[in-house]
Chain A
Amino acid sequence: MLGVTLSQKNNNFYFPGRTPDSSGINILFEETQDAGAIRICRQRMLTAIICFLIVYFIIGFRIISVCLVDGIHIFTPVEETFENEMYANTPISRADITDRNGVLIATSLPTVNLYANPKNVRHPEDIAAKLTTLFPEISFNDLIAKLTRKKTSFSMIKYNLSPAQQAAVNNLGIPALEFQKSEKRIYPHKNLFAHILGYTNIDNLGLAGIEKSLHKRLTESSKPLQLSIDIGIQDTIREELLAAVEEFQAKGASAILMDVNNGEVISMVSVPDYDPNLSIPVGNHSLFNFATQGVYEAGSVFKTFNTAIGLESKKVRIHDKFDATKPIKVQGITVSDYRGENRWLSVGEILIYSSNIGSAQLISRVGKEAQRQFLINMGFSQPLSDFETYEKGRPLFPSKKNWRDDTMATVSYGYGISITPLHLISAFSSLINGGIYHYPTIIKDNTATQPARRVISEHTSKDMRDLLRDVVIYGSAKKANIPGYQVIGKTGTANKLVEGRYVDKKVITSFVSAFPKDNPQYALLVIMDEPKGNKKTWGFVTSGWNAVPVGGKIISQIAPQLNIQTDFDLDVQRQHVRAAFVH
């Protein structure tokens, strides 16, 4: 209207960028004689101009930001974003779990669930008949009930269909049947990591093990969770334990291998175990993880801690001798030895011959206060609540009031205090690794774990290693003296408490060891629950006949896998080379 009027009156065409001179407009509006309208028009024009300017400014800003600012990211190194992008593309919502070398040990497969919308169901009998031919395990009557459910548009028929089953259902062409995206947790190695990983229910909710304790981590981040477990070592240890359970007709067995320098658990096995891919009845014995839940009296392996208390307190010196000639009485209980030496024993000999009398004598020099405090420092009074598996046992640790002289004596050789195998191996690692206690963890490079702390001096730790080496060379652990690896260790056989009484024939045998002596890298604990004697063991059930040879076999196999250097002399090595070529 404006333009037309102008062009008619002044025969003027205004190109972009050129504004009509004020006189022209005035002439025009003088003619219209409507000053108010001009003002309103100007205001509207101004508003429109401002609006357009804002829009152009936003567009301009966005163009610059897309071209320059966002564009910068294109040139960022691929390594920085690669990992995040890779995991962002994962088609599953629950993160994978891998071993320390990245081998997949738990993952989820994308599947679909089949459900019906009862509101769209026209001929329930027909649909049920067709579905039962595809899924014979679902009963016809159940299907009818599900398909005719009232006041709902969702009725679940079957979880986790395979792609072939999904195609078959699609081919039925029934509009009332629909699919829902889902995923199924699978454990490719079946029983191998059963107690560590645990399992999930049909709704992918963790019910045991790491699946339960780290459920939040697994569902919040799609980045795989890397454990400190090594699949090869785990398999070797499990195989040996299964063979041992078979050979000694034991009720169960357990083993833990720990990196003594950071507390990482390299392997943790408890048999009997179960296949987490299958549904497991609650209360089944195989669900029990002895390694973390089994609270037991460790027996003679505790003498290791007893000796360390003595040496660390400086009230006992390594060459001191103790009277073990005859049983002693402490507050009404008699302390005697199993196949005792009946003579004065040095600190080393107390360990070699596993003397209860010697241990009780030794600790009496230190006192019950220092003993209790030392064991608290070793972590024996509290459950290892920060350890990552869900199932954890609470130690039975006498209160200060109940810690009497007889408690002091019995604890010195491993009775009267109950701990889990995980407590034992963590504390043992600190005795021989130079004196640093590392909180156990099953996550690789775990930075969130509790800080390490010194529990004994480096000097005491070295003495302990020397004493424990003698136990393997001269004492009850001879069968674990694997040439080349300088194994150190201590055995223990504890009678089981049945209905308040210790039963001789029911024992729990333990062998706690580490290798190599001069620079310990790994600690291994082998425990057998109620092993029986056989012809090979002359009927004996003590640790030296079952747990120790099993430990020896395990060490001889895993040490080469763990890259532990042998300590053979050069001449011996040359002999090995010659022998290899002669045969």
Chain B
Amino acid sequence: MINTKTAITILWFTLTCVICFGSFVLKNQVHDLETELSKINNNIQKDVKTIHILKAEWSHLNNPARLKKLAAEHISLNKVRAEQIINYSALPFQYENGGIDIPASGINNKEYKKLVKAER
């Protein structure tokens, strides 16, 4: 017959063992996590360094003179002229009516058709 004192002693002993084991497991987990964290931090540092170098390279590749040369070779775009910037109201469409094209007065039909075609 196990008396109360013995039961309590066993309980204390078990609790101590459980706590010891728990602490051991926890410590191991923390250790693993710390290793993982330091790996991640190292990777972050490496990535940051790489990104930094890539930023410098990106800036180098975006040199306006280089872009101008590439644009001249591959796309036929010219510099914007002052006349090319116009107000909406100068366009022969009325955009207020839900985007429906209504010819403005003063534009003949042939020209209007050309513009509508161009807009498409």
Interface residues of A (CB under 8 A from B): 13, 15, 89-92, 103-105, 107, 109-110, 186, 188-190, 192, 231-232, 235-236, 239, 482-485, 556-557, 559-561, 565-566, 568, 570, 573-574, 576-581
Given the complex, which residues of B lie within 8 Å of A192, measured CB to CB?
63-65
CA distance A236 to B67 in the complex (A): 12
State the CA gap A13–B55 with chains docked (Å).
72
Please give me the residue from chain A that is nearest to B58 by CB atom: A104
- In the bound complex, residues from chain A placing their C-beta under 8 Å from that of B77 are none
| Distance between A32 CB and nearest chain B CB, rounded to angstroms | 27
Q: A239, A557, A566: which has the most chain B beta carbons within 10 Å?
A: A566
Say what secondary structure dominates the interface of chain B.
helix
The answer for the CA separation of A90 and B86 in the assembled complex, in Å, is 44
- Bound-state Cα–Cα, A201 to B10, Å: 75
B49, B62, B82, B106, most chain A CB atoms within 10 A = B82
CB nearest to A96 among chain B residues: B55
Q: Known: A107-B59, A485-B82, A560-B85. Is A231-B64 also a contact (CB below 8 A)?
A: yes
Report whether A581 and B45 are in contact in the complex, using a CB–CB cutoff of 8 Å.
no
Residues A89 and B48 in contact, CB atoms below 8 Å apart: yes
* Interchain Cβ contacts within 8 Å, total number: 99
- A482 to nearest B CB, angstroms? 7
CB of A577 within 8 A of CB of B86, answer yes
Q: Is B87 engaged at the interface, CB distance under 8 Å to the other chain?
A: yes
- Given pairs A188-B57, A189-B60, 7 additional interface contacts (CB within 8 A): A104-B59, A235-B64, A483-B83, A484-B82, A560-B85, A576-B84, A581-B118
B95 to chain A, nearest CB (A): 14
- Report which of A90, A236, A484, A556 forms a contact with B52, defined as CB distance below 8 A: A90
Closest chain B residue, CB of each to CB of A190: B63
Tell me if B18 counts as interface (CB < 8 A to partner A): no
Is B103 an interface residue when CB atoms closer than 8 A count as contact? no
- List the A residue with the shortest CB-CB distance to B60: A188
Would you call B8 an interface residue if the criterion is a C-beta within 8 Å of the partner chain's C-beta atoms? Answer: yes
Write out the residue numbers on chain B whose beta carbons fall within 8 Å of the beta carbon of A13.
Answer: 5
Question: Is residue B79 contacting chain A, with contact meaning CB distance below 8 A?
Answer: yes
Q: Are A188 and B80 in contact (CB under 8 A)?
A: no
In the complex formed, the residue of A with least CB distance to B56 is A107
Contact of A581 among B57, B87, B89, B111 (CB under 8 A): B111
Per-residue contact bits, chain B 41-76, to A (CB 8 Å; 1 contact, 0 not): 000110011001101111110111100100000000
Which residues of chain A come closer than 8 Å to B81, judged between CB atoms?
Answer: 556, 560
A105/B8 contact (C-beta < 8 A), A559-B82, A573-B87, A581-B114 known = no
In the bound complex, residues from chain A placing their C-beta under 8 Å from that of B53 are: 109-110
Nearest residue in B to A236 (C-beta to C-beta)?
B64
**A92-B64 in contact given A556-B81, A577-B90 (Cβ < 8 Å):** no
In the complex, which residues of chain B have a beta carbon less than 8 angstroms from the beta carbon of A89?
44-45, 48
- Whether A560 contacts B82 by the Cβ 8 Å rule is yes
Asked whether any CB of chain A lies closer than 8 Å to the CB of B115, the reply is yes
Which residues of chain A come closer than 8 Å to B92, judged between CB atoms? 574, 577
Residues in A with CB closer than 8 Å to B64 are: 189, 192, 231-232, 235-236
